[in-house]
Structure 1
Amino acid sequence: MACLDENLLFELSVGQLDGAALAKAEEHLDTCPRCRRVVAAALRASGAAAPAPPALVQRGTAIGRYLVVERVGVGAMGQVFAAYDPELDRKVALKLLRFSSRPFAEEEQRRARLAREAQTLARLSHPNVVTVFDVGTWEQQAFIALEFVPGGSARVWATREPRAWREIVRLWIQVGRGLAAAHAAGVVHRDLKPDNVLVRADGRAQVTDFGLAAETTLRDEAAAPTALALTETGALLGTPVYMAPDQLEGAPATEASDQFAFCVSLWEALYGERPFAGQTLAELARAVREQAPRAPASSPVPPAVRRLLQGGLHPDPRERHPSVTTLVDALERAIEKPRRFGLPVLIGAALLTLGVVLVARPNEAVRRHPTCVLAEERHRAAWDEARRGVVREGFDRTGLSYAAQAFGVVDGAVSARASAWRAERAEACEALVDAATPDPLFRARVACLDERLAELDAATSVLSLGGADAVNRATSVVERMAPLDACVAARAGPADAEPCEACVAIRADVQRGKTLLQLGKFAEAERVTKGALGREAPPNAAAARAALLVEHARTLEPLGRLDEAEREMFDAALAAHRIGSRVLAAEAFAELAYYVGYLHARPDDGERWALQADALLGPDDAPILDRVAMVRGVIETRRGNLRLAEEHFRRVEESVRKRLGEAHPSRARVLSNLASAILHQGRFDDALPLLKESYDLFVAALGADHPDAFQALNAYGVALGNAGRFTEAVPVFEAALAGYKRTLGANHPRIGRAASNLAEALYRLKRYPDARARYIESAAALERALGPDAPDRARALTGVGQVYVAEGACAEGLAETQRALVICAKAACEPEDAAALAFLHAKAWVCAGHAKAEAIPHARRAVELYRSLGAGTEAQIAEIEAWLR
């Protein structure tokens, strides 16, 4: 007699069988030692006793607003019912998740995660994802209401009739599209397998049961069943046969582990067996780590498909495909019918194979050209174990609590980029060496990819130097590296038709300068880029040289050489425009708009440069379009058009969310700018949720002790201050300032700004000595970081002056305002700061015993500046006008 199936075994182990079904199961157990061992192992794994059975659910039972029609399935996670939704008059599938034997806090955490992910999926509309309608609790159990999908699982679909390999791959490509859509929404599946894919009668695949699986661990070997034939039953333990080794060993489920499960499932569907075998969890984990995926000696499935699946089954998650989208795109290309070649091409290809070598790998023998193999090895050296180890050690030496987390983020991003580079470079290289006449398109692609490799090598070389700045800004460095997408779509231009070694070297210098700039090493970045500009370059390196000119101009602005930066950025924009480098020209014009419109306080001129950048860009240039919109937002802030600034920031937030996902740190930065624009309009309640979300995103991505998390905390304090809640704001500012001091160098400008914010809150609470000390600390920190003539330093000196005036030390207050006025005469102070300074100077002048008539022009200037800022400044204007009367 055949063994009991996994659902019957599970129901038996938790006491849910009764009547004839129980009698039949017990009769089988009397004659089957294997099934007895399975049930015993399941009971041992779950503790001394099985979980209590769920409440009895009969036809007509109301679960939430849904009325149960019938039970249609049961498994390790709970029961599934067909149900009726009377409010919307539709049939739904209702999943009632069973009690867990885990600790209460752990189970509550799981339920909270399920609720969050179900709510996210409820907002996700994709043809290959089962729609989630609702989530709730009933009788202390969680339930999820989903779209009712008629038909069976992908496993049932595969056994109904013989399926051609292309038909199977096409079905799983649909699965991959649904999985990728969920990943883009920030949801990981955790338990992808054929049973969690439903196939409609029309052949459409839909993924279901997102997030229902618990995290699996292999840490307690003794608790794992030792004789369970995982390749035959398996679901009693989740479904370990589909799990990635990292997931089996206790790491959290990720997009990469979902990709592994996808590849196991498709491998099983194509070859009739899973790629790895093991009788226990430990055996299975060892097989995945140490053995090659097993496949029949002969199969109609082409090697290209097998290689793609092997890539997704790599034991190291960093070596899998960059994303499920990348994998399914490649599968789609692999199932296309091969082109028919004429005899001359076939002869050429045959001749070329004489120069081809065999490269042996643990899992396959692949025919590769030596030059292509060499290129791949060069890339491995850019982020091999040696380089990775140097960067990790440099991060660890800082002693920062979040150094390991920061390295993990960087390592994951760089490894994914490396994997994508190898795939693209191999394809382009083989196309070149296999063609009788090399295609200029692929020649340009190879040149572009080689430049990206040089950039990666330059960035990781700088990060290898270590230090707190490297840890703090490493994620930003990786985020802002040029994407590989542009190389995939590369077109050979007249100036760069042939690859040139000089271009590769120049691009490396550009990235080296960019990385140093992002790490706050401004003088060193300027030195590197200036030195590179001093070297001669051939004519076909014009585009690379224009990029270098842009980067050198960028280094001048934080050094206070704003006039030079403006002139050089203008020259760079013209140079890029002249040679047809459209995106680079737009990037330069956007920076020029920022320098002129915001920093130099000439918003009309800045707007013209921003429009010029916009005119050069198309819908595929999202990152630069976002930068232009951000610049236009800050220009409108400078003008006082806060509503318009808010619109620009909202546009950027939507774009970043769609492009990079809800949880990306870049979105956290945009949310902070958006909240600032809303705060300045006096809408505290609207800004607060954005600030909290920004902070939570930074903490999740970078850790609670990261400077970017402290920046979000500082922004929250500003919100409290703007709402007049200064008592609450003080401890927030103190925490942000203390965090900055722990994690940033003493010369960092963020320390000065945080000290200034704290001083302002203390001043409003009339704690004048404390406020004055913090303002003085702020001025000193900003002078160290930005120089004596920085506008931010003028703001701190204004603060010192206002404390002196409040204390009656009028001469000292007047002296501080005069020092601030000298700075604002040289540099462009923000209108709001300039207005506050002008009015304070007027009051200090009179307080110090001078004639009021002499101070009136300063007060009137303050009114003009406040009026230019628009709404939200009425109280300040009223105070000045009362003083004038």
Structure 2
Amino acid sequence: MSTQGSSQPSPADAHARESVRARLFDQPRNDVRVGRFTLLDKAGEGGMGVVFAAYDPELDRRVAIKLLHSQDPAYVQRLLREAKAMARLSHPHVVTIYETGTAGDRVFLAMEFVRGSDLRRWLAGAPRSWRDALALLVQAARGLAAAHAAGLVHRDFKPENVLVTEAGVAKVADFGLARPIGDRTHDTLPGSRTDSELPAITRDGAIVGTPAYLAPELFEGSPADAKSDQFSFCVAAYEAVYGERPFAGDSLASLADNVARGRVRAAPEHTRVPARVRRLLVRGLASDPKARHASLAGLADRLDALVARRRRAASVAIVGSIAAASFAGVWQLRPVQCTGAADAWADAWRSSALPELRTSMAASGHPGAVVTADKVAALLDGYGAQWMASHVDACEAHRRGVQSADLLDRRMACLDARHHRVDTLVAALERADATMVERAIQTVSDLPSVADCDDAEVLARAHPLPDDPAARERVLDLEQRYGEADVLRDLGQLQAAKEAFATVRELADALEYRPIQAFARIRQLDLTNGTPALRDGLYEALHLAEAGGDEFAARYAWVELIRTHGYLGEFDAADRAARHAEAYVQRSGGSARELSIVADRIAMMNIDRGDRQTALREAQRALSLLESADPDSPALVPLLGHLGTAYTSLDENDLAAPVYERAYEHAVTTLGENHRDVAIALFNLGRVTARQEQYDASNDYYRRALAIMHAVGGDEELTSIFILNNLGQNYGHQGHYPEAIASVLEAISLQERRSGPRHRVLVRPRRGLAEIYLDAGDHERALAESRLALDISVESFGDDHHESAACRRRVGQVLVALHRAAEAVPLLERALKDETAQKAPGRQQGLTRYWLAVALHG
């Protein structure tokens, strides 16, 4: 390349001409010098310059000379200043710059000469494990972090810019794009080649670097910094360990879109790269720089520790069924020390990670994040202690010869599944949003029991793994994917979970693996909507489970069918589902926790049915069972709430109040003060005190509940809607009609935005609004609201449901006030008939009898 406007050829051109002359005339090549350095051979060329191998006669060493592409005098001076800054950086994992200077109008860098290859060629040169690849990348990360500490960023980190010495040492090279951190100076290269010749640089000159490795903020023209280098590093590291880049894209536009939206590819099927490695890399690939790791140095530390732990664990611990089988013959020859459980567990969770967990969860903005993080950590520590004890026991039992190889295989597969679920859970919590924080404690509390991994009978009932090793790996991978999707669901990431379960179901269908087919089908359903489609979907999953002999999935389907049939008013079918569910639980050993779930479902179904005595009995049984199994479980909070509801349905308000108080205290203790379950407990206290006509106290409970819902971002959620409605009813009872009407109408408006104007949830607010209008003297509006409530109730619950009976009573009451008693009588008679048949509480029947008497004598 000649220098425009100069009579002298550039050193690069002179070297090229001299090489051609020497070959043509078979003569020795004359030396071409750059400063004191003698150019030997051209080693390569990049977007920023040409690299030569060269000789330094003063120090008698081989060096690399890089001649930078630029002729603009101002730009030359800037490059020279930056090169001198880089020359002050000395680190074993950065290519050292010995000297900087100019040759004519070109800046040159005299650098350390590295014998070896670049990272891309090193990876392709031989099979590399993920550990080997990651260990080398950690070295490169150390070098980049040193540059960051010196106030420099690389801006074009990629595999080609990581040199690997013959001794296997990584050195980051080509800081030719380096700038001080935050430098916003325009990046177009004066005198650079045309757009079509620069695939690594965007055409408008606003972005410099290789697009596949560029952070999204650089596509938008933001200045490069340490966080953008971290992103580039994670792209390269992901590519090194998985064999493919994290973002798809067959054009710059599609690549930029995937990067900006954070669409990281799914991990390749059958990968052996641990979930924790992926989690760390994906965090560094976040589209929002603030969501990435605090520093590249910190990321390097975590990756380095993980590689080291994995190597230690692999050498001393059983880490799965395949390892157990392969070591079986060795154990017969020499004793095995059953160590390594702690190292293996630390891959998923370690107590020292609490500060990081606090920081990550606090970033969600949830007011209870730090308290939640502490409680989650304590629960994980306890779970980990159980896991490690079980891991050691499985190993010791096999070593002593008191456990078959098959049982060891099943125990280790069980433990691995729980380990992976915790690994996935911790990964999710490191990027938690407010919803995930809200559900974190319950999710950890609901982790699958480690005790099941010690129970030979439970393990024997599990669906057997295939004998073929390849098929077994596919099934284990499928189960891990299912566990990952289940964690997303438990943490409230419903859309992501739905998509993940769809993938799991497709893979399970392809493998014809029925246990996962059944569970994935259940998990794809919205278990809260109570529709015929949900009922039919549950029976489809039940068929898959029973055909495949999977008792666990079948039991789960029957339990959910209790609630679904009850919601649909199909109470005989709900009773049948309850009998099946109880039978499955008893057959599997009768876990108190599982029996409590069945009892709770039966209790709530009987509340809907109107069989309040049965509801009370089952609610008491559910609470007693769970208390005996886990007295500290946060799951006691809703069970206490359901017991209180059973009492209030019987007008036993004095018995309900202390139960609700206990629910509130337990919620605060187990979940922290800023939690939706605490708000629900306060809401229930508001309900029962209102029923006791203590309206000021009730209003206080409701306002406290609303404040919590607001703090956790739940202003438009169903709980807030219920609170607003009940607060409005209280205002009405106190004669504050404008405030009452405004509060109830706000509740109705919020619910209509959620589900439309005729959802079943609107029955009670509409009926209550009718009463407020009636008390305020607006009889026509009262009649319109009460009739609308009745219409929605009949559509939603059925003509003879107790909610419809209450609505008929309200219509009759309004008609009596309008002096239309003749129209009121048949409505009130029908209401009393249905309430009597359903054994409604005496207070409700008494109200109906009163208004019927008034109508008959009006």
Q: Report the TM-score range of the alignment, normalised by the length of the smaller protein.
A: 0.5 to 0.7
Query: 1:156 is matched with which residue?
Result: none
Is contact 1:432-1:443 (8 Å) kept?
Answer: no
Query: 1:552 is matched with which residue?
Result: 524
Say if 1:821 and 1:617 are closer, same or farther in 2 by CA, change over 3 A: same
Say if 1:579 and 1:524 are closer, same or farther in 2 by CA, change over 3 A: same
Deviation at 1:632, TM superposition (A): 1.2
Is contact 1:506-1:545 (8 Å) kept?
Answer: no
Give, in whole Å, the separation in 2 of the partners of 1:520 and 1:782. 20
1:874 aligns with 2:845: yes
Query: 2:781 is matched with which residue?
Result: 812
Give, in whole Å, the separation in 1 of the partners of 2:506 and 2:630. 38
Deviation at 1:592, TM superposition (A): 0.3
Give, in whole Å, the separation in 2 of the partners of 1:452 and 1:715. 36
Query: 1:689 is matched with which residue?
Result: 658
Give, in whole Å, the separation in 1 of the partners of 2:642 and 2:563. 15
Which of 584, 589, 592 is matched with 1:616 structurally? Answer: 584
Query: 2:438 is matched with which residue?
Result: 472
Query: 1:748 is matched with which residue?
Result: 717
Deviation at 1:512, TM superposition (A): 4.3
Say if 1:381 and 1:786 are closer, same or farther in 2 by CA, change over 3 A: farther
Deviation at 1:505, TM superposition (A): 3.9
Which of 396, 403, 420 is matched with 2:369 structurally? Answer: 403
CA deviations on 1:150-184 (whole Å, 9 max, x unpaired) are xxxxxxxxxxxxxxxxxxxxxxxxxxxxxxxxxxx
Give, in whole Å, the separation in 1 of the partners of 2:363 and 2:790. 44
Which of 745, 755, 762 is matched with 2:731 structurally? Answer: 762
Is contact 2:729-2:768 (8 Å) kept?
Answer: yes
1:585 aligns with 2:562: no
Deviation at 1:557, TM superposition (A): 3.3
Residue identity matched to 2:581: A
Query: 2:568 is matched with which residue?
Result: 600
Which of 530, 554, 557 is matched with 2:502 structurally? Answer: 530
Deviation at 1:438, TM superposition (A): 5.9
Alignment of 1:419-818 (within 5 A): 419-428=385-394, 439-490=405-456, 491-492=459-460, 495-498=463-466, 500-537=472-509, 541-553=513-525, 556-558=526-528, 560=529, 562-597=531-566, 599-618=567-586, 619-661=589-631, 663-786=632-755, 788-818=757-787
Say if 1:423 and 1:655 are closer, same or farther in 2 by CA, change over 3 A: same
Is contact 1:468-1:743 (8 Å) kept?
Answer: yes
Residue identity matched to 1:608: R
Residue identity matched to 1:653: L
Deviation at 1:681, TM superposition (A): 1.6
Say if 1:816 and 1:684 are closer, same or farther in 2 by CA, change over 3 A: closer
Alignment of 1:315-354 (within 5 A): 349=331, 351=333
Aligned residues: 519
Query: 2:127 is matched with which residue?
Result: none
Is contact 1:751-1:781 (8 Å) kept?
Answer: no
Residue identity matched to 2:584: L
Give, in whole Å, the separation in 2 of the partners of 1:564 and 1:826. 17
Is contact 1:653-1:667 (8 Å) kept?
Answer: yes
Say if 1:616 and 1:877 are closer, same or farther in 2 by CA, change over 3 A: same
Give, in whole Å, the separation in 1 of the partners of 2:693 and 2:506. 54
Deviation at 1:511, TM superposition (A): 4.0
Query: 1:129 is matched with which residue?
Result: none
Deviation at 1:613, TM superposition (A): 1.0
Is contact 2:760-2:792 (8 Å) kept?
Answer: yes
CA deviations on 1:225-281 (whole Å, 9 max, x unpaired) are xxxxxxxxxxxxxxxxxxxxxxxxxxxxxxxxxxxxxxxxxxxxxxxxxxxxxxxxx
Say if 1:664 and 1:623 are closer, same or farther in 2 by CA, change over 3 A: closer
Residue identity matched to 1:816: E
Is contact 2:793-2:803 (8 Å) kept?
Answer: no
Give, in whole Å, the separation in 2 of the partners of 1:649 and 1:745. 28
Is contact 1:747-1:784 (8 Å) kept?
Answer: no
Give, in whole Å, the separation in 2 of the partners of 1:813 and 1:347. 83
Give, in whole Å, the separation in 1 of the partners of 2:411 and 2:571. 40
Give, in whole Å, the separation in 2 of the partners of 1:843 and 1:649. 34
Structure 2, unaligned stretches of length 5 or more? 1-326
Deviation at 1:852, TM superposition (A): 5.6
Helix, strand or coil at the partner of 1:864:
helix
Deviation at 1:410, TM superposition (A): 0.8
Query: 1:836 is matched with which residue?
Result: 806
Deviation at 1:751, TM superposition (A): 0.7
Helix, strand or coil at the partner of 1:466:
coil
Is contact 1:636-1:644 (8 Å) kept?
Answer: yes
Structure 1, unaligned stretches of length 5 or more? 1-344, 357-365
CA deviations on 1:179-232 (whole Å, 9 max, x unpaired) are xxxxxxxxxxxxxxxxxxxxxxxxxxxxxxxxxxxxxxxxxxxxxxxxxxxxxx
Say if 1:503 and 1:761 are closer, same or farther in 2 by CA, change over 3 A: farther
Give, in whole Å, the separation in 2 of the partners of 1:785 and 1:793. 11
TM-score under structure 1 length normalisation: 0.54
Helix, strand or coil at the partner of 1:545:
helix
Helix, strand or coil at the partner of 2:797:
coil
Residue identity matched to 1:656: L
Deviation at 1:367, TM superposition (A): 6.4
Is contact 2:822-2:855 (8 Å) kept?
Answer: no
Is contact 1:444-1:498 (8 Å) kept?
Answer: no
Cα root mean square deviation, aligned: 3.3
Is contact 1:583-1:621 (8 Å) kept?
Answer: no
Is contact 1:794-1:824 (8 Å) kept?
Answer: yes
Query: 1:191 is matched with which residue?
Result: none
Is contact 1:752-1:780 (8 Å) kept?
Answer: no
Say if 1:546 and 1:431 are closer, same or farther in 2 by CA, change over 3 A: farther
Give, in whole Å, the separation in 2 of the partners of 1:574 and 1:785. 33
| Identical pairs, percent | 21
Query: 1:84 is matched with which residue?
Result: none
Residue identity matched to 1:694: A
Deviation at 1:628, TM superposition (A): 0.9
Residue identity matched to 1:626: S
Residue identity matched to 1:728: A
Say if 1:347 and 1:498 are closer, same or farther in 2 by CA, change over 3 A: closer
Query: 2:298 is matched with which residue?
Result: none
Say if 1:503 and 1:808 are closer, same or farther in 2 by CA, change over 3 A: farther
Higher gyration radius (CA): 2
Deviation at 1:767, TM superposition (A): 1.6
TM-score under structure 2 length normalisation: 0.55
